[in-house]
Amino acid sequence: MTVFFGNSKGHSYCFDKKRQSFQNKAYYEPVRVTLERHSGGVMNTQRILKKQSILGIGYNLISYRDVMDICDFWRDKGESHYVTFAPIYSISLCHRDRQMQKATEQASLTLPDGIGNVFAAHLLGYAHEGRVTAPLTMLNICDWGRERNYRHFFYGGAEGVAERLAQRLMRLYPGLNIAGTYCPPFRHPSERESRKIIDLINASMPDIVWVCLGAPKQEIWMADHIGRIEATVMMGVGAAFNFISGNIKWAPEWVRKLGLEWIYRTIQEPRHIWRRHLIIPGFFFSVIRQKYSKNSQFNLDEKQT
């Protein structure tokens, strides 16, 4: 099987798995995935697709299992969708960036990636399933999708990160079907380059395209490419590429379970992360205001005017 790759200048090249080009002596401890596999039973799509407003952003407060089931449902129906993972920083971006707001609103699923989203849902009285993070969603779907022969394409990240990510995932999940990887240029590609990228991705026939461009770029890219990328789902997973590839150290499992990953990331990347936390007090004040407002849905457009 030939797997396509690209470098940061947008040039593509390929490696052949038969030559074991992915071979790496580094040892990776397998990630523990405890979710049940897809049962093929009756699925309540209306419940899964229902959105609950948190400061004007509609969230799907569902489980990892629900995400996997709806992806399988879309695949069987031959549909194309995209999914966003939105911590409270993404809500802040939506309040400031109309393109980000529109791209998030048009996503088929918007998932609560941060502990702040979960607290907000609890304060607002919404039933929820806790956090649904981008890294664990990727790991779970890569594991579970082997039964269905899902093909995965990894788009974005710094040069070499997507390739290392593919290597690690294949070691974690033997039999994983990698359609390809591609690292686009950091500058905005020309229309001709964009067409080549689209053709490259489509030629690999992926079921899922994992997108790592950072917010708001990845959300806007997915919104612009829905209907052009021939895949069941595009998922904007941000830093998941770095965590799973080992490019950036991921918080220990116990830290993530306690909802303290944001503190760990601040210590790891203080210059990149600390400013994001300045919005936390204002965020919870706004959530409390939404809770006791006559209009509990909190109109984002009114907030921006």
DSSP annotation string for the chain: -EEEEE-TTS-EEEEEGGGTTT------PPPP--PPPP------HHHHH--EEETTEEE----HHHHHHHHHHHHHHT--EEEEE--HHHHHHHHH-HHHHHHHHH-SEEE--SHHHHHHHHHTT--------HHHHHHHHHHHGGGGT-EEEEEESSTTHHHHHHHHHHHHSTT-EEEEEE---SSPPPHHHHHHHHHHHHHT--SEEEEES-TTHHHHHHHHHBTTB-SSEEEE-TTHHHHHHTSSPPPPHHHHHTT-HHHHHHHHSHHHHGGGGGGHHHHHHHHHHHHTSSSTT--HHHHH-
The pTM score is 0.82
Tokens of 266: 């601040």
Residue 53 banded pLDDT, cuts 50, 70, 90: very high
**Structural domain boundaries in the chain:** 1-11+45-305
Give the range among 39-43, 95-99, 226-230 with minimum mean pLDDT: 39-43
pLDDT tens figures, 132-154: 999 999 999 999 999 999 999 99
pLDDT at 297: 52
State the average pLDDT over residues 33-55. 71
pLDDT at 185: 84
pLDDT tens figures, 267-288: 777 777 767 778 888 999 999 9
State the average pLDDT over residues 197-203. 97
* CA–CA separation, 199 and 230 (whole Å): 9
pLDDT at 229: 98
Is 70 or 297 the better-scoring residue by pLDDT? Answer: 70
pLDDT at 43: 73
Say yes or no to pLDDT of 265 above 90.
no
Say yes or no to pLDDT of 98 above 90.
yes
Average pLDDT score over the chain: 84
